[in-house]
Structures are given as structure tokens and as C-alpha cells.
Amino acid sequence: MTAPSHTERARSFDAAAAQYAANRPSYPPALFDAIEELAGRPLTGARVVDVGAGTGIATTLLHQRGADVLAVEPGDGMAAQFRRSHPDIPIVRGNGNALPLAAASADFITYAQAWHWTDPARSAPEALRVLRPGGALALWWNTTPLDIPWLAAQASRIDRRFGAHPAVEQNSSGARAALADPTGRLDFTRRKVRWSRRVPLDTHLANIGSHSAFLVHGTEASTAFLAEEKRLLLDAFPDGIIEETYDVDLLVAPIT
């Protein structure tokens, strides 16, 4: 069986947009504090372009922080879900490789769980084109901390069945900043923010099932894996409540 392409994985979310919106984790207030600290400016009142906005999880939090946010999303299904959930936030169709925006028109460009779907050799220069002097590019990912035994065991099971664990892939220590900008024109500072949420077991399973590694392998393979995962996790969490822990991996590059 041929491995799914990067494009196929990127497009897989459109058919699962409602599942994504209902079950994916959010981000903690401390993340946005860190973005402001590393950027040297507040989000409140700033013109923020949230690229790869998906169903609007990060976009909404930026809006609530007081930013003037414009969402950019390439996928049909994700954009439709965004519009249903957030009719008060503007969204345009496009992607980070060729932003449909004027030069020097944004104070922040943000990518939540989305930069790895771009070609950084194109998206890095695009960010520099669109950002104003004094602005900042902020990239972040919710990643799974493997120092927590049950999460490490689950990641290993996912890796054996589907390949790279969707929550920790591309997260090798020290490598992400170099991979994020092959042009060498951006000076990233890295920060990690740990947080957690308590959710029903079915929400946890729907969350991991909404990752591209599961979506591209089809319903039968995913359903079988998640049924076995439910059995294993009920042994460990008999009350059916899971505490998911995340390390948000944040990269911020101020623009001078």
C-alpha cells in the first residue's frame, strides 16, 4: 500500500471538520502571554492573520485576546465549519505559500498546528512580505509529552499501527526551528508551555482519531484501533475521564 502523500494528509481534514471542531484541544492563556513576551508587543489591538485557521480554535482565542483577526484557510470543509461556528470573524481562502494579502499589512502572522502543511521555503518569505516592521511570526503545536507513561505507551501503539504519532511528529529536540525556516531569514525563539484538560474517554478517542494519520487510513483501520484503545484506557481510567497533557511548542520570530 502506498503511503499517503503530504497533500492527501492535508486535505483529509475537510471531511472531518465537525469532529475536529468538537474534540481537538484548545490552548492555554499562558501561550498567548508567551507570544506577547517574545514578540515584545501586545495582541490587543494588533492586526493578526491566523493562517491555516481550520475550524477556528486558535482564531477565536486571538479574537478574545482583543486582536483584530483575519483567518486564512485553504480547505473547503474546514472553512465551512469555521463560518458556521464563527460568523463574526472574517475568513478568506488561501494558504501560507501565497497569502492573499497586501505587503506590510499585518502585525502578527500566526500558525496553530499548521506551519508543517506549508512549504517553508515559500511561506517564510511570504510571512516577511506581509508582516510590518515590529511585527512577529508565531508558530505553535500542541505536542504530547512523552515523560508521562500512559501517553508514551499510547504514542508507541499509534506509531506501530499508523507510523509517526500525529501529535509528536516533527518534534525532535532542537530541530523544529531549523526546519521552520530553511531560508535562515527568521530568528526564532522557542518556548514550551505545559497544560492539560480533563475530557471524557470518547472525546479523547475522537481527538486522536481526527489526526491525519488516522483519517487517511480509512474508517475500518481507525475504528478497530480506537476500539482496542478504548478497552486499554478503561483499564487505566475506569471512571472514563482522561487527563490529556500537552506541551505547546512555540516559536516566535520578531521582525525588525
pLDDT at 256 over 60: yes
The reported pLDDT for the residue numbered 12 is 60
Mean pLDDT, to the nearest integer, of 108-121? 94
Mean pLDDT, to the nearest integer, of 123-128? 96
The reported pLDDT for the residue numbered 91 is 98
Query: Considering all CA atoms of the chain, what is the largest pairwise distance in Å, rounded to the nearest integer?
Result: 55
Contact status, residue 204 vs residue 245, Cβ threshold 8 Å:
no
Residue 162's pLDDT band (cuts 50, 70, 90): confident
pLDDT at 125 over 50: yes
The reported pLDDT for the residue numbered 180 is 86
Contact status, residue 192 vs residue 248, Cβ threshold 8 Å:
yes
The reported pLDDT for the residue numbered 178 is 64
The reported pLDDT for the residue numbered 134 is 97
What would you report as the CA-atom Rg of the chain, rounded to the nearest whole angstrom? 18
Mean pLDDT score of the chain: 89
Helix (H, G, I), strand (E, B) or coil at 172: coil
The reported pLDDT for the residue numbered 169 is 42
Sign of the C-alpha dihedral, residues 35, 36, 39, 42? positive
pLDDT at 18 over 90: no
**Considering the entire predicted model, what is its pTM?**
0.89
Query: Phi/psi of residue 177, each to 5°?
Result: -60, -40
Contact status, residue 66 vs residue 43, Cβ threshold 8 Å:
yes
The reported pLDDT for the residue numbered 75 is 92
| Grid coordinates belonging to 114 | 499548521
Q: Which H or E run contains 39?
A: helix 29-39
Structural domains of the chain ordered from first start: 7-144+169-198+245-255 (3.40.50.150)
The reported pLDDT for the residue numbered 183 is 85
pLDDT at 233 over 90: yes
Contact status, residue 45 vs residue 66, Cβ threshold 8 Å:
yes
| Grid coordinates belonging to 104 | 506590510
The reported pLDDT for the residue numbered 170 is 44
Residue 19's pLDDT band (cuts 50, 70, 90): confident
The reported pLDDT for the residue numbered 215 is 75
Contacts of 200 (CB under 8 A, 6+ apart): 240, 241, 242
Residue 212's pLDDT band (cuts 50, 70, 90): confident
